[in-house]
Amino acid sequence: MTHATTFRRLILSTILALAVPITDAAPAKPAANKAVATAKAGKTSKPAAKDSIKAASKPTTSGKSTAKNSKTAPAAKPAANGKNSKAAAGGKTAKSTANGKAAAPAKTAQTPCGKAQSAVFQAAAEGRLDALKQHKNNKCDLKKTDPRGFTLYDIATLNGRKNITDWLVANKIAQKNQYSSALIKLVQTGLRYLGHDAGAANGKQTAATAKAIKAFQRANHLSQSGKIDAAWLPAFNKELGKKTQNTLKNLGYKTGKNTGISTAIQAFRQERKMAKSGSYLDDQLIYQLMLAENEAGKKTDKRKGADRRARLAAQNAAQQQEEAQRSAENQRKAAEARARAEAAAREAAEEERRIAEQERIEDEQRAARNAAELAAARQQTEAATREAQQLRAQAQNISNANPGEAEQRRLNEERAARRAAAAAQAERTRQQAEAARRAEEQARQQAQTAARSAVQARVEAQNALRTASDPILAQSAGRPAAKPRGNKGFTRANGILSLGTSGGVLSSCSVGGRSIDIGWCQQYYPDGDGRQCSAVISNSGIVVSLTCK
């Protein structure tokens, strides 16, 4: 066999090996053709589909866009993609794509940025710039959009948060007066909803859109610019929320202060089988509200009553679900508070045990030192006494034997007396030092006792604050929420109660310009806005009480 023959066979085997994936991937074509055929058929279908957010914009667009927004059209994308077709030969996921079924996306762990994303959108609506700065410091993407497709710049502009929009522009996260197509669609659909024809809801600022904007500005006594900007969008957002609330009320939903508008919007979305849930406003919700208004005018009184009962049932279900979630959240907070209290108690007990052990060791060491010093002093005294006795005996013997040595005896006695006096003085000095040590030890023990009392008082104060701030803990303790004693550790905020809303839902609360937890303000929403209130807040930021006149 020659080298040329071997080389030709190698080339032939390579070509055959490369041909195998192409043959296996061929079944993906019918799925693409079927999707195309479905999309073509979608051009003639009526634009009244209610089970998709994208389908909600059909009446304002051409037949071509209707086909693109049809429910079956996205199924053609996985099979039509060349890369996916080649990958179909290699595994189960690719095979399911070739059979016309979309492969399930792999579940990924939610990152800290992902967990905080919804909170950042809420912070933009409430004007809390510190939350956005923290998100930026965490290297999180601030250019992401919410489920509606709104950017942070869109949300801040709609809610009149100039501090947020200026910061976004200054940090090159957004461009001034540059809005997403989702916001423009909401403006176009919302203006039509409010009685101003803005043309097709295509997400582009057209001449019809500018004309409708001027009409709205004229009706609301605003400067007529005809442009989408922050000068009139907050007023537009407020009017849109009011009209939405009135429409839902006319359709039979409860929109009072006890239930709010959020559950009504959620129940309406479920009734209309809209793809996205939530209580926010977008162009699809407004479009469905207009359709519902039109349909309601054509129904009989009997049918209206049945619809009203069905809507109330749906809203009650949504309200029960919301209450269940709130109850679960309260239970979670109560469990966390109990865990914190138990941890604080364990910490206090451990600190007390450590202090007691340290005192025991110091007492033993001090007793050993005192015993050693006392024994040494006793030995010195006994030695001095014996020496004096010996000297006196010697002196007596010398005096008896030799009277001439009386002077020497006297001198010896004086020396012995001085040594005895020195020993006595040493004993007195030791006793004084011991008394000083005892006084110092007593002072130290008093300081340690005061420190332990302070630790225990801090733990009790923390437990009292947690019990007072959590209704669940207050009930479990069998007593009403504790009131603070005096002004130590607490501050009082007095002033006007300000209630902020986002999409018709309570989103922020402050007393005298100081923000507090909105959970305390639910009882005063919406009629309490502007009332004179007083809030007691701990140094750690926990609201203890809120009273309004």
CA distance linking residue 482 with residue 464, whole number of Å: 7
- Radius of gyration of the chain, Cα coordinates, nearest whole angstrom: 43
**What is the pLDDT confidence band of residue 196, given thresholds at 50, 70 and 90?**
very high
pLDDT for 70:
35
Rounded to two decimals, the pTM is: 0.40
Three-class HEC string of 295-310: HHCCCCHHHHHHHHHH
What DSSP character marks residue 480?
P
Give the CA angle between residues 158, 156, 503 to the nearest 5°. 50
Contact between residue 297 and residue 199 where contact means Cβ atoms under 8 Å apart: no
The DSSP secondary structure of 396-419, one letter per residue, reads HHHHHH-GGGHHHHHHHHHHHHHH
Q: Report which of residues 57 and 162 the model is more confident about.
A: 162
CA distance 437 to 272: 85
Residue ranges covered by each domain of the chain = 3-98, 112-147+155-171, 356-475, 487-548
| Tokens 């040590």, located at residue | 437
pLDDT of residue 462: 62
Count of CB atoms within 10 A of residue 344's CB? 17
Contacts within 8 Å (CB) and 24+ apart, 505-509: 505/260, 505/261, 505/262, 505/279, 506/260, 507/122, 507/125, 507/126, 508/126, 508/127
Please give the span between the terminal C-alpha atoms of the chain, in angstroms, as a whole number: 105
Contact between residue 87 and residue 98 where contact means Cβ atoms under 8 Å apart: no
Is pLDDT of 74 > 70?
A: no
pLDDT higher than 70, residue 423: yes
118 versus 26: the higher-pLDDT residue is 118
Residue 199 φ/ψ, nearest 5 degrees: 80, -160
Least-confidence region, from 57-61, 351-355, 516-520: 57-61
Closest CA to 28 of 82, 107, 66: 82
Pairing of strands 490-502, 532-538: antiparallel
What is the rounded distance in angstroms from the CA atom of residue 32 to the CA atom of residue 79?
Answer: 6
pLDDT given at position 73: 35
Cis peptide, bond prior to residue 526, ω within 30 of zero: yes
DSSP 55: G
Q: Which two tokens stand for residue 51?
A: 């089970």
Does residue 15 sit in helix, strand or coil? Answer: helix
Residue 183 pLDDT grade (very low, low, confident, very high; cuts 50, 70, 90): very high
The residues with which 497 forms a beta bridge, in sequence order, are 511
Q: Of the candidates 67, 33, 62, 64, which has an alpha carbon nearest to the alpha carbon of residue 49?
A: 67
The predicted model gives 424-442 an average pLDDT of: 81
279 CA to centre of own chain:
19
pLDDT tier for residue 470 given thresholds of 50, 70 and 90? low
For 444-459, what is the mean pLDDT?
68
Report pLDDT digits (tens) over 471-523.
554 554 444 444 445 445 688 899 999 988 887 778 889 998 888 888 888 88
pLDDT of 459 strictly over 80: no
Average pLDDT over residues 105-113: 57
Question: What angle separates helix 283-296 from helix 181-193, to the nearest 10 degrees?
Answer: 20
Angle at 428 between CA 426 and CA 429, to 5 degrees: 65
Render pLDDT for 146-174 as a digit per residue (tens, 0 to 9): 999 999 999 999 999 999 999 999 999 99
Q: What are phi and psi of 484, to 5 degrees?
A: -70, 145
When mean pLDDT is compared across 4-8, 223-227, 400-404, 434-438, the lowest value belongs to 4-8
Q: Which amino acid is at 266?
A: Q
pLDDT, the chain, mean: 75
Q: How many CB atoms lie within 10 A of CB 473?
A: 20
CB 220 within 8 A of CB 194: no
Q: pLDDT at position 7, please?
A: 52
